[in-house]
Amino acid sequence: ILRRPCFRIPLNEVEMAEVVEVRPLREFGGYGIRGGKGGRMGVVVRKGPALQVHRTGGRVFLVTVDDAATGAALLNTLAGRTRG
């Protein structure tokens, strides 16, 4: 039985979220769950805007989504509340 991958990032590990433009072939070598330049990890299903999350320890996670700007704003607000 195949399972869908699930990624969870605890709010206390979120340093900052931002919107970035992704070029899958150039930056990740293709589509899917990929490792990219600069040690980024991402779920890349298309070219264009993506939500990029900077985590503690210098780790970066990226996912291409609709309305990445709203996701980044919400994540930054929630992470800020967690930090106090």
pLDDT of residue 32: 94
pLDDT of residue 84: 73
pLDDT of residue 39: 86
The owner of tokens 């994540």 is 75
pLDDT of residue 49: 97
Question: Per-residue pLDDT for the chain (84 aa), expressed as one digit of tens each?
Answer: 778 888 999 999 999 999 999 999 999 999 999 998 888 999 999 999 999 999 999 999 999 999 999 999 999 999 999 887
The pairs formed by 21-28 with CB atoms below 8 angstroms and a separation of 24 or more are 21/48, 21/49, 21/50, 22/47, 22/48, 22/49, 22/50, 22/62, 22/64, 23/47
